[in-house]
Amino acid sequence: MRSGATGVFCSSSFTGFASYFIIVSGPPSSRSGAHAAVPLTILESLRHVDAPAHGGGDEFNTELAARRLGMSDTVAAQIERYRRLAARSGRVELEEVAALFRLVGRRTDAGLVFADAGRRVGRRAVRGVRAPALLIRALPAFARNRLGFLLARRAAARILDARLLRDPSIPNAVIDDSPSATATPNGTGCGFYGSALAEILRALTDFDGALFHVRCRSRGESTCEWQGSGRSG
C-alpha cells in the first residue's frame, strides 16, 4: 500500500478511525492525560479542513468521500463531548489523544490540520488569560512583555502541559510527554504544539520570530523541545 499519497485517508486510516472511536469510549481521567482542548481543536480543525469547498465540482470523488469523515455525525458528537469537557478544564486520557494524533497523522494534509489546530488551541489558551492581557496593555513595553510572558507560561502549562522558559531572552518550551511524538513517527503531530506555542507567545508577548522543534521524543530524545529564533522583545 502506498503511504496515502493520493487520498486524505488511506484504508489503514479507516482502521485508525475505528480504533480511535473504540478508545474514546473510556471515561476521562481527572488528573492525568491531556486538556480536552487538545483533541477538541484537532477535531474542529479536521471538520474545518474537510468542509466541502464552496462551489463544489471536486473532481476526486473518492477523496471527497474520505473528507466527509471530518463532517460526520460521529466527529460532531465527539466535538461536543470535548467542548463540554474543555469548558470545565476536563482531561482526556493520553491514549485517546494519541490515537487521534495517529489518525490525523496518516493524512496527506496532516501538517495543515495540526498547524491550524495549534493556532486554534493557542487562541483558546490566550482567551483563558484575557482579562489580565487587556490590563497589561497600559504598561510600559518592558513590564508588559515580562508580565505577558508569565501569562503565556501559565496558558501553555494549563492547556498544553508545556513548560515555557526564557534563556535569557529567547523563548524555549519543553513538553515531557507529548502524545504527538509517540503517535506520529516523524513527529509531524508536534507541529500542533509548535503552532500553539507560537500563537500564545505572539498574542501575549513581543515575540515575533519562529519556533523550531529542536528536540523530539520521536527521534529518541527524552523530551520535546522548541527554541525560538528572531526578535522576541
Query: Which residues contribute to the site for Zn ion (CB under 5 A)?
Result: 181, 187, 190, 216, 224
C-alpha cell at 56: 463544489
CB of 190 to Zn ion, least distance (A): 3
Task: Tell me the chain's radius of gyration from C-alpha atoms.
Answer: 18
Phi, psi of 39 (to 5 degrees): -65, -30
Strands (E), 67-122: 91-92
CB of 221 to Zn ion, least distance (A): 8
Give every CB contact of residue 168 below 8 A, 6+ residues apart in sequence. none
CB of 223 to Zn ion, least distance (A): 8
Strands (E), the chain: 34-35, 91-92, 163-166, 171-175, 210-215, 224-229
User: Which residue is it, cell 469548558?
Assistant: 87
- Asked whether 93 and 25 are in contact (CB, 8 A), the reply is no
Closer CB to Zn ion, residue 103 or residue 162? 162
Neighbours of 51 (CB within 10 A): 12
User: Which residue is it, cell 522548541?
Assistant: 226
C-alpha cell at 98: 494519541
CB of 175 to Zn ion, least distance (A): 7
CB of 226 to Zn ion, least distance (A): 9
CB of 176 to Zn ion, least distance (A): 11
CB of 4 to Zn ion, least distance (A): 21
Give every CB contact of residue 74 below 8 A, 6+ residues apart in sequence. 21
Closer CB to Zn ion, residue 16 or residue 187? 187
**Short-list 208, 226, 205, CA closest to 163:** 226
